């Protein structure tokens, strides 16, 4: 099976978000902690703005919810030039910002993005990876995560939006599908 990016996924923004958290952690961050923060960034942005931050696929894994494509990039199972410019290769359990990357390089992040990321860091930055993982397993916090019993389960945007008590879920999901369809047509040219 060949892994690839899905149309509409914003690899550049995902890389900038990952680098943001790595830099906040001192230059590199544990992959488990990063995977939870990336999920929460995508989730919080959807909750506030009715659209994903970087349009990743979402999944329940044994260690909690993740942004699937970004996790594959972090683990080196998928490669992309835009990712590699900003995020260094995983070393053991740590994912570093690329050498020389500073906050000034993260120009893909809007003020809205940065507000979400800063809030997440203020809340969870001092937590270790296991405390954050356990927090994401609690249905009071992340009700859309389901224990996949050693495998993985997709988290559908419909389910996430439903748990958020969003109105017009069908319209919001259609917007995501439309972005992906447009991106697919544009990439075919």
- Whether residue 2 is contained in a domain is answered as no
- Whether residue 189 is contained in a domain is answered as no
- Whether residue 188 is contained in a domain is answered as no
Domain count within the chain: 1
Q: What is the mean pLDDT of the chain?
A: 93
Identify the domain containing residue 29 by its residue range: 11-183
What are the tens digits of pLDDT across the range 100-133?
999 999 999 999 999 999 999 999 999 999 999 9
- Whether residue 3 is contained in a domain is answered as no
- Supply the pLDDT for residue 181: 82
What are the tens digits of pLDDT across the range 51-72?
999 999 999 999 999 999 999 9
Average pLDDT of the segment spanning 172-183: 86
- Whether residue 65 is contained in a domain is answered as yes
Q: Please write down the long-range contacts of 85-90, taking CB distance under 8 Å and 24 or more positions apart.
A: 85/15, 86/12, 86/15, 86/16, 86/18, 86/19, 87/15, 87/18, 87/19, 87/22, 88/28, 90/31
- Supply the pLDDT for residue 118: 98
Q: Is the pLDDT of residue 42 over 60?
A: yes
């Amino acid at each position: 099976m060949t892994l690839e990016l899905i149309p509409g996924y914003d690899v550049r923004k995902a890389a900038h978000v990952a680098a943001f958290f790595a830099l906040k952690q001192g230059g590199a961050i544990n992959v488990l902690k990063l995977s939870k923060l990336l999920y929460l960034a995508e989730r919080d942005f959807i909750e506030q703005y009715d659209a994903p931050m970087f349009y990743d696929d979402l999944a329940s894994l044994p260690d909690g919810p993740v942004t699937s494509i970004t996790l594959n990039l972090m683990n080196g199972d998928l490669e992309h030039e835009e990712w590699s410019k900003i995020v260094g290769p995983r070393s053991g359990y740590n994912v570093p910002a690329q050498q020389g990357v500073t906050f000034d390089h993260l120009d893909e992040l809007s003020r809205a993005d940065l507000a979400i990321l800063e809030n997440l860091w203020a809340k969870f930055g001092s937590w270790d990876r296991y405390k954050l993982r356990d927090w994401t397993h609690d249905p009071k916090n992340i009700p859309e995560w389901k224990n996949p019993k050693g495998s993985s389960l997709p988290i559908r945007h419909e389910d996430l939006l439903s748990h958020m008590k969003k109105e017009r879920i069908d319209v919001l999901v259609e917007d995501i599908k439309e972005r992906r369809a447009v991106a697919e047509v544009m990439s075919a040219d």
